[in-house]
């Protein structure tokens, strides 16, 4: 059996959001891996997620369509790299499904996301979101776009949804 990869954030290249949330990791996992759930929490209000497609396996698709308050749609697709049930999801938008190199053109920097869920206390979860970038410029751009605020608000929305599951 192979050992899971250990991800060490590089402060020059990566952004990290870490929180303790008061829902079990199985519910956080369900919120991340069920398209109907993702559409309810994935984008910070007033944005919405109007479509989501998930093929939950390495090489499978993770696709969302985010809609701005002005009604403009922003499709975003990536490829799962690692899926460890109730523990970790890793995907990148540098690859399309089947590990094909991405042909996307976007103002948003390319990154690899690592979502880690660890049991914490009595029914809580240590939630870590790591966004890894290829260079300092991509990290800076993602940070200036509001990574911490946006991903933090989305996490709050995820927790609210998970409490209702």
Is the CB of residue 28 less than 8 Å from the CB of residue 158? Answer: yes
Six token digits for residue 51: 């479509």
pLDDT in the model for residue 108: 73
Parse the chain into domains and list their residue ranges: 14-164
What's the CATH fold of domain 14-164? Alpha-D-Glucose-1,6-Bisphosphate; Chain A, domain 4 (3.30.530)
Question: Strands of 61-67's sheet, edge to edge?
Answer: 14-21, 124-133, 111-120, 88-92, 73-84, 61-67, 48-54
Predicted TM-score (pTM) of the model is 0.93
pLDDT in the model for residue 145: 92
Is the CB of residue 163 less than 8 Å from the CB of residue 155? Answer: no
- List, run by run, the mean pLDDT of 10-residue segments along the chain (165 residues): 73 96 97 98 96 98 96 94 97 94 78 96 95 95 94 97 93
Closest by Cα among 81, 86, 75 to 31: 86
Q: What distances in angstroms separate CA 160 from CA 15, 65, 137, one per listed residue?
A: 24, 21, 33
pLDDT in the model for residue 12: 95
Six token digits for residue 73: 């749609």
Is the CB of residue 22 less than 8 Å from the CB of residue 127? Answer: no
């Amino acid at each position: 059996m192979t050992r899971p990869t250990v991800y060490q954030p590089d402060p020059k290249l990566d952004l990290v959001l870490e929180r303790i949330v008061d829902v079990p990791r199985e519910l956080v996992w369900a919120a991340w891996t069920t398209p109907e759930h993702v559409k309810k929490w994935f984008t910070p209000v007033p944005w919405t997620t109007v479509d989501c497609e998930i093929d939950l396996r390495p090489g499978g698709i993770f696709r969302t369509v985010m809609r701005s308050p002005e009604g403009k749609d922003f499709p975003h697709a990536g490829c799962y790299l690692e899926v460890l049930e109730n523990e970790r999801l890793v995907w990148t938008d540098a690859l399309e499904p089947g590990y094909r190199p991405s042909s996307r053109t976007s103002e948003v920097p390319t990154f690899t996301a690592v979502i880690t869920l660890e049991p914490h206390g009595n029914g809580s979860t240590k939630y870590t979101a790591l966004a890894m970038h290829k260079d300092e410029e991509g990290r800076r751009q993602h940070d200036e776009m509001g990574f911490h605020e946006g991903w933090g608000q989305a996490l709050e929305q995820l927790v609210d949804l998970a409490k209702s599951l």
